[in-house]
């Protein structure tokens, strides 16, 4: 059945697609953030299962064990993002060639299996044979493969199933489930780890995943026509994945190798143990630049059917949407991570209460996201996306001067506005991107956008890690963080001695958010420069895939200026 069949679109099938993909994206995004709020619990478990993890705090054995546990925690979080980011465009291209539903269905099954295995880290395989931390990282990789298969196809499946005048609502709802899920994960992580074990943040996916996998296999079917005669760009996939991996690995080595502020090489066991990693980080950064350059040359010159279609960026609507979204993601990607450390460390909150403190941001996003998608179907994209990204930039700049003593009510207001800004931007932006792409390229188009977002988020997390790792003594940081598993009394939190321990972190916190705020301010420019879309429910799509609602009587196309008509279609 070909895309564009209005009889199919008018049936209940489109709502089946929306429901199933919303569950998929919700699960995949929750598992990015649910780990963040549970980091103290995971770190404590991994540390205690490592040799030296139960030694005295002042011993060299404990210093090495705590640093190694920190590496495992970083890679359980960042590795998930790395695998997702590097495989998104690969699976998007495979879906265009082999069929979107097949890849999507397989992704659900793999993600569910990975969740089950991650929860059993250190149990199925004894810790003595393979450390609990290494198992968690490995099984998180399995989860990430499934998440990439889901992310790369959900937007394309929705675009196939919904007519143009409803895509803003459908894609907006799906996008809300993604970003809202990452925020909801903070609350769920706090609740689950407080009443059960950190393992249940993964187990909770299993029954939902089994149900949704069976549902997808029985109800979803292809609406697009796979380009089976084309081949897959394997060299491009390898070069892209390797380049991003080198970037993350280099950042990890740099964080470990840089000497924490206020210490000297002579008395700092971390410096003596990990300083050689600075050389390794330089090698990784050089390899990142070389591999990325080779990837670009391969895509432009060598590949017959390139993995990443740079021709998509000829459309001003596509390029402005992807670029502005990438800059916003680069600015907001490390926000939740830093706020969790602020709430659980500086404020001394438990995981449960830290999760509750993040609820206003979730509510703000969930309120603004669907509404902006509905409005953008009527008035276009530019105004809403620009307003959303501007508000987001303002909030990041406010966080760059956030005082440690800010009252909870004021902090809640700031976080609510942060959620509203993200929701205003996300829905109309993804709709503008997907409506600018040919039907045959929707898989790679959606995957390109998701790849840019995930790479930007990963880079934001990397920036945050580097600032923290190079300004806060790792041993002291882990002592504080692992110890913050319940609410500390106000007398302790407000004491000069306790706040002094966190001063290096707060300095890094303010510097990082200042950088993030400036980056997002730059993102306002491409958002403003996107083409204007005429009011009305009809949106002219790419040549060869013009979809219109089925009217009772013939209706004329709305008037558009020549320039706007040209830029709203795929070049």
> CA nearest 178: which of 155, 157, 156, 160?
155
Q: Which comes out higher in pLDDT, residue 341 or 148? A: 148
Supply the pLDDT for residue 537: 38
Tokens of 133: 């931390």
CB 531 within 8 A of CB 564: yes
The long-range contacts involving 45-51, CB below 8 angstroms and separated by at least 24 positions, are: 45/122, 45/132, 45/198, 46/72, 46/73, 46/131, 46/132, 46/133, 46/136, 47/478, 47/482, 49/122, 49/127, 49/131, 49/132, 49/133, 50/131, 50/133
Helix axes 100-119, 13-37, angle to 10 degrees: 30
Element (H, E) at 442: helix 442-469
Domain spanning 6-232+307-536: CATH superfamily: MFS general substrate transporter like domains (1.20.1250.20)
Q: How far apart are CA 471 and CA 478, in angstroms?
A: 13
Q: Which comes out higher in pLDDT, residue 564 or 447? A: 447
Distances (CA, A) of 180 to 174, 307, 528: 10, 29, 25
Domain boundaries, the chain: 6-232+307-536, 233-303
pLDDT digits (tens, 9 = 90+) for 28-70: 878 877 887 787 788 889 988 998 888 887 777 877 787 788 7
Supply the pLDDT for residue 127: 87
pLDDT digits (tens, 9 = 90+) for 368-399: 887 887 888 888 899 999 999 999 999 999 99
In the DSSP assignment, the letter for residue 299 is I
Supply the pLDDT for residue 177: 77
Q: Is the pLDDT of residue 216 over 80?
A: yes
User: Residue 552, CB half-sphere, CA atoms under 13 Å: how many?
Assistant: 0
**Residue 399 burial (10 A CB sphere; 0-12, 13-18, 19+):** buried
pLDDT digits (tens, 9 = 90+) for 300-323: 899 988 888 888 899 999 999 999
Supply the pLDDT for residue 249: 83
Supply the pLDDT for residue 292: 93
Supply the pLDDT for residue 543: 34
Lowest-confidence region among 288-292, 415-419, 553-557: 553-557
pLDDT digits (tens, 9 = 90+) for 164-196: 777 767 776 776 677 667 777 877 887 888 788
Supply the pLDDT for residue 344: 81
- List all residues 6 or more positions away from 69 whose beta carbon is below 8 Å from its beta carbon: 43, 46, 47, 50, 53, 133, 478
Q: How far apart are CA 495 and CA 140, in angstroms?
A: 39
- Alpha-carbon torsion (488, 494, 499, 501), positive or negative: negative
Neighbours of 499 (CB within 10 A): 14
Any idea what the Cα angle at residue 134 is, between residues 129 and 135, rounded to 5°?
A: 75
Q: How far apart are CA 155 and CA 178, in angstroms?
A: 11
Q: Is the pLDDT of residue 557 over 50?
A: no
Tokens of 147: 């998440």
Supply the pLDDT for residue 539: 39
Q: How far apart are CA 62 and CA 68, in angstroms?
A: 10
Left if phi > 0, otherwise alpha if psi is -120 to 50, otherwise beta: which for 169?
alpha
Q: Is the pLDDT of residue 118 over 90?
A: yes
Q: Is the pLDDT of residue 265 over 80?
A: no
Q: Is the pLDDT of residue 488 over 90?
A: no
Tokens of 231: 């081949």
Lowest-confidence region among 98-107, 445-454, 529-538: 529-538
Q: Is the pLDDT of residue 411 over 80?
A: yes
544: helix, strand or coil: coil
Q: How far apart are CA 549 and CA 33, in angstroms?
A: 39
Supply the pLDDT for residue 533: 63
Q: Is the pLDDT of residue 215 over 80?
A: yes
Supply the pLDDT for residue 358: 84
């Amino acid at each position: 059945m070909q895309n564009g069949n209005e009889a199919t679109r008018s049936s209940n099938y489109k709502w089946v697609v929306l429901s199933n993909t919303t569950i998929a994206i919700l699960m995949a995004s929750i598992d990015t953030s649910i780990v963040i709020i549970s980091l103290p619990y995971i770190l404590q478990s991994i540390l205690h299962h490592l040799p030296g993890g139960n030694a005295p705090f002042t011993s060299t054995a404990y210093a090495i064990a705590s640093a190694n546990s920190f590496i495992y925690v970083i890679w359980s979080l960042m590795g998930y993002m790395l695998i997702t980011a590097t495989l998104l465009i690969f699976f998007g291209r495979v879906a265009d060639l082999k069929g979107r539903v097949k890849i999507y269905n397989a992704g659900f099954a793999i993600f569910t299996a990975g969740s089950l295995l991650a929860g059993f880290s250190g149990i199925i395989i004894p810790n003595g044979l393979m450390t609990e931390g290494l198992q968690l990282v490995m099984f998180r990789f399995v989860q990430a493969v499934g998440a990439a298969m889901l992310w790369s196809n959900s937007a394309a499946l929705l675009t196939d199933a919904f007519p143009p005048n409803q895509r803003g609502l459908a894609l907006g709802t799906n996008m809300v489930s993604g970003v809202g899920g990452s925020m909801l994960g903070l609350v769920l992580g706090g609740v689950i780890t407080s009443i059960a074990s950190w393992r249940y943040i993964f187990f909770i996916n299993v029954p939902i995943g089994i149900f949704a996998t069976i549902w997808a296999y029985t109800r979803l079917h292809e609406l697009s026509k796979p380009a089976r005669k084309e081949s897959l760009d394997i060299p491009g996939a390898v070069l892209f994945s390797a380049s991003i991996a080198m970037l993350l690995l280099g950042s990890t080595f740099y964080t470990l190798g840089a000497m924490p502020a206020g210490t000297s090489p002579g008395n700092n066991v971390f410096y003596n143990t990990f300083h050689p990693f600075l050389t390794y980080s330089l090698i990784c950064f050089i390899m990142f630049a070389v591999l990325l350059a080779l990837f670009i040359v391969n895509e432009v010159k060598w590949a017959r059917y390139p993995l990443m279609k740079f021709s998509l960026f000829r459309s001003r609507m596509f390029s402005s949407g992807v670029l502005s979204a990438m800059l916003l993601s680069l600015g907001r990607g490390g926000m939740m991570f830093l706020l969790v450390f602020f709430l659980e460390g500086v404020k001394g909150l438990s995981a449960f209460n830290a999760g509750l403190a993040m609820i206003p941001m979730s509510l703000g996003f969930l309120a603004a996201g669907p509404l902006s998608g509905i409005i953008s179907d009527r008035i276009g994209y530019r105004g809403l996306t620009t307003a959303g990204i501007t508000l987001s930039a303002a909030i990041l700049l406010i966080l760059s001067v956030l005082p440690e003593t800010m009252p909870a009510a004021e902090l809640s207001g700031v976080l609510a506005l942060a959620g509203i800004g993200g929701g205003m931007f996300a829905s109309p932006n993804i709709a503008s991107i997907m409506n600018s792409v040919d039907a045959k390229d929707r898989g790679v188009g959606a995957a390109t956008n998701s790849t840019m977002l995930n790479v930007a988020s990963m880079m934001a997390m990397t920036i945050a890690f580097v600032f923290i790792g190079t300004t806060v003594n790792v041993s002291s940081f882990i002592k504080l963080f692992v110890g913050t598993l319940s609410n500390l009394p106000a007398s302790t939190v407000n004491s000069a001695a306790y706040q002094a321990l966190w001063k290096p972190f707060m300095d890094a916190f303010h510097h990082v958010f200042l950088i993030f705020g400036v980056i997002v301010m730059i993102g306002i420019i491409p958002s403003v420069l996107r083409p204007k879309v005429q009011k009305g429910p009809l949106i002219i799509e790419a040549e060869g895939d013009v979809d219109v609602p089925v009217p009772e009587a013939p209706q004329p196309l709305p008037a558009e200026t020549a320039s706007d008509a040209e830029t709203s279609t795929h070049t």
